[in-house]
Amino acid sequence: MEILIYGIVNSFKLILIAFGFTLVYGTSRLPNFAHGAIFVFTGFVAWIMMHKLNLPFLPAALLSLACAALVGVVIYQFILKRIRGMNMNEIIATYAIGVALIETFRWLGFKGTTFTLPVVKEGVVFIADVPVDYQRLMVVAVGLVMLAAVWAFTKFTRTGRALRGIAQDERAAMMLGIDSDMTATLAMALGSALSGLAALMLFPLGSIVVEAGYNTLIFALAVCMVGGIGSWSGTVLAAFVLGFLQVVTVTYLATHFQMVVTLAAIIATLILKPSGFFGKHKELEERV
Amino acid sequence: MLAADGLMVFYENMLALNNISLRCHENQIVGVFGANSAGKSTLMYTLSGIILDQKIKEKMRGGEQITVMGEITFEGREISGLRPHLRARLGIVLCPERRRLFPESSVMENLKIGAYMATRQESRDTLDYVLEIFPPLEKLLRRPAGFLSGGEQQMAAIGRALMAQPKLLLLDEPLLGLSPAYQQVVMEAVKRIREAKKISIIVTEQYARPVIPIVDYAYIMENGSGVMSGSGQELLDNPDVKAAYFGV
C-alpha cells in the first residue's frame, strides 16, 4: 500500500519535472538541457523573493514562475534562435547555459541545506493507514491540474492548436500562417515555467540545493527517453513506470540506487526500443 | 494579383528554376504542368516562401546552398523576401504536395489549426463551406488524419488551406495518387471554390488532362524552364504539347 501511494506521488513528481522538457521538445524540437538549471533557478528566486524581499508565498511563487519563463524566452531569443536545427549545438549551448546558471548560484554562496521553501500547508493525512503529508498530495493535485491545463490549452485555444500543428509538421504549419519562432519562444517560456512549477512544488519537500539541477535534468531526460522523446502520453506512462521503479528500489534496496535504476532504464530503453514507448514517426505515410 | 518575374533557384549548382515568369490575375485559375523534376514544386515553394525556410535550414546544417533570385509581387507588394508565415498572412496559402496533414490530429483539429489566422466567424463559415463542398468529410471529422485514404486526405488538405482564408490558393499536385473518381471530385471542388470564394488558384499537375478544362491560363515547364504558355484551348491545340502532356 505504501508503495502504491508513494509510487503515485513519486510518479507525479517525475511528471512535473519532465513535462516541461517534453513540451519544448515535442513542439519545437528543442532539447532544453538548461531545464534542470531553471528548476534550481526558480527555487532560489522564490527563496530570495520570500526572504530578502519579504514577499508572501503566492506572489513570490508567481513572480519566480514569470522569471523562469523569461529565462526560457531569453535563451531562445538570444541563443537557440541562431543555432536552431543543429541538435548537437542546441544541446551543448543549453547545457552550458544550465551549468553556468547552476554554478553561478553555487559561486554566490547558495550552497548547503539552509535554503528551504515553505510547504503550502502543513499537515498529514492517513490514506489507508499510510501517512501522506499535504505537500505530497499537492504534488499530485498540481500535476493533474497541470496536465489538464496543458491538454485544454492545446485543444481549445488558437495558440495551443498552433503548437499542436507546428509539433507535427513545422512547414505545413508555416504555410497556414503559424510563426515557428513565436511558437518556439512560447514553448520555451511554457516549458521553463513548468520546470519552475515543479521546483516550487518539490523543493518544499527538502531543501534547495544546486545539485538538484543536475539530478532533475537526468530524471527529466530519463522519463522522456523511456517514454519516447516528445510524446506526451509516453512521458506520463514513463513517469509512472520510473516512479514506481524508484519507489520499489528505495523500499527494497537503498535510496542511492534510485539514480542507478533510472540510468539503467535509459540504457534498457536504448537497447530494447530506442524510440521509447511512444516514439513517433513524424512523416505522414503516403496513401494512394 | 500575383506577378513573378525572373525566378531562378539553384540547389548548389543545380538549376531548379530557370528564369520563370508567371502571372495570376484576380479570380483566375492558372495551371502549371510539367513532368517530375520539372520544377513545379520548387516553383510553389518559391511562391509560398517555403524555399526561404529551406534555405535557412540547409545553411544551418551546412547542407546544400540554395540561391533564390527574382521578384515576386503580390497585390502590388514586393514579397520575395517575406518568410512563409507572413506570406500566408497576406493570403498566399500553399496546399503542399503529398498533403502533409497533421497526422495525429483529427480532421476537425486539422481544419481548426488551419483557421489559425481566421476570426471566429470566418472559421465557422468556412467550416460549413468546406463540409458543403466535401460532404464525405462530415463523417470523418473525428478521425485522425493519418488514417484517411489519399482522396480523403486531399479533401481535408484543401479544406485546411481554405480555413486559412486564402486570396491566392496554391495547390501542388492535388491529384497525385487519386482515383479518377476522386480527381473529378477535387477538380469540381476547385472550380466551385473559385466561383464561390472569388479567389485565385494556381494548380500544378503532371498530367494536364483532368485539370485543363478548369484553367484560364497554363504554363508548361521542362527542366526548370517555362517552355510554353497559353490558354487551356491553345495548349490543347498544340500537337507537341498534346503528345507530351495529355497522352494521345
CA–chain centroid gap for A12, Å, is 11
Chain A residues in contact with B126 by the CB 8 A cut-off are: none
Say what the pLDDT of residue B247 is: 62
CA distance A177 to chain B (A): 4
Given an 8 Å threshold on Cβ–Cβ distance, is B100 in contact with A179? no
Closest-CA residue to A20 (of A30, A11, A8, A10): A30
Higher pLDDT, A65 or B209: A65
A179 contacts chain B (CB < 8 A): yes
Q: Is residue A279 part of a domain?
A: no
Q: Is residue A280 part of a domain?
A: no
B160 contacts chain A (CB < 8 A): yes
Mention every residue, 6+ apart, whose C-beta is less than 8 A from residue A26: A167, A229, A230, A231, A232
Q: Is residue A45 part of a domain?
A: yes
- B7 phi, psi to nearest 5 deg: -75, 125
Nearest CA in chain B to A162: B113
Say what the pLDDT of residue A171 is: 93
Chain B residues in contact with A164 by the CB 8 A cut-off are: 102, 105, 109, 113
Query: How would residue A113 be classed by pLDDT, with cut points 50, 70 and 90?
Result: confident
Chain A residues in contact with B85 by the CB 8 A cut-off are: 174, 177-180
The number of distinct structural domains making up chain A is 1
pLDDT tens sequence across A185-202 = 999 999 999 999 999 999
Nearest CA in chain A to B163: A176
Q: What proportion of chain B, given as a percentage, has pLDDT over 90?
A: 83
Q: Is residue A259 part of a domain?
A: no
B148 contacts chain A (CB < 8 A): yes
Say what the pLDDT of residue A287 is: 44
Q: Is residue A186 part of a domain?
A: yes
A173 contacts chain B (CB < 8 A): yes
pLDDT tens sequence across B67-113 = 999 999 999 999 999 999 999 999 999 999 999 999 999 999 999 99
Q: Would you list the domain boundaries of chain B?
A: 2-246
Query: Is B90 in contact with B77 (CB distance < 8 Å)?
Result: yes
* Cβ atoms < 10 Å from Cβ of A200: 24
Tell me the residue range of the domain where A83 lies: 2-109+130-213
Given an 8 Å threshold on Cβ–Cβ distance, is A176 in contact with B50? no
B184-192 — which CB contacts under 8 Å span 24+ positions?
A: B184/B210, B185/B134, B185/B151, B185/B155, B186/B151, B186/B154, B186/B155, B186/B158, B187/B211, B187/B213, B187/B214, B189/B133, B189/B134, B189/B155, B189/B158, B190/B29, B190/B158, B190/B214, B191/B29, B192/B133
> Which of B50, B105, B150 is closest, CB to CB, to A171?
B50
Question: How high does pLDDT run on average in chain B?
Answer: 93
Q: Is residue A167 part of a domain?
A: yes
Chain A residues in contact with B83 by the CB 8 A cut-off are: 174
How large is the ipTM? 0.92
Dist. CA B89–CA A163, nearest whole Å: 17
B104 contacts chain A (CB < 8 A): yes
Chain B residues in contact with A158 by the CB 8 A cut-off are: 115-116
Q: Is residue A11 part of a domain?
A: yes
Start-to-end CA span in chain B (Å): 35
Residue bearing cell 513506470:
A241
pLDDT tens sequence across A33-44 = 999 999 999 999
Which CATH number among 3.40.50.300, 3.40.1010.20, 3.40.50.1980, 3.40.718.10 corresponds to the domain B2-246? Answer: 3.40.50.300
CA distance B174 to chain A (A): 12
B167 contacts chain A (CB < 8 A): no
Q: Coil, strand, or helix at residue B9? A: strand
B109 contacts chain A (CB < 8 A): yes
Please say if the pLDDT value at position B164 is more than 90: yes
B177 contacts chain A (CB < 8 A): yes
Say what the pLDDT of residue B13 is: 92
Cβ–Cβ pairs < 8 A, chains A and B: 100
CA distance A201 to chain B (A): 32
pLDDT tens sequence across A213-271 = 999 999 999 999 999 888 889 999 999 999 999 999 999 998 889 899 999 999 999 99
Given an 8 Å threshold on Cβ–Cβ distance, is B104 in contact with A280? yes
What average pLDDT does the segment A56-70 reach?
Answer: 96
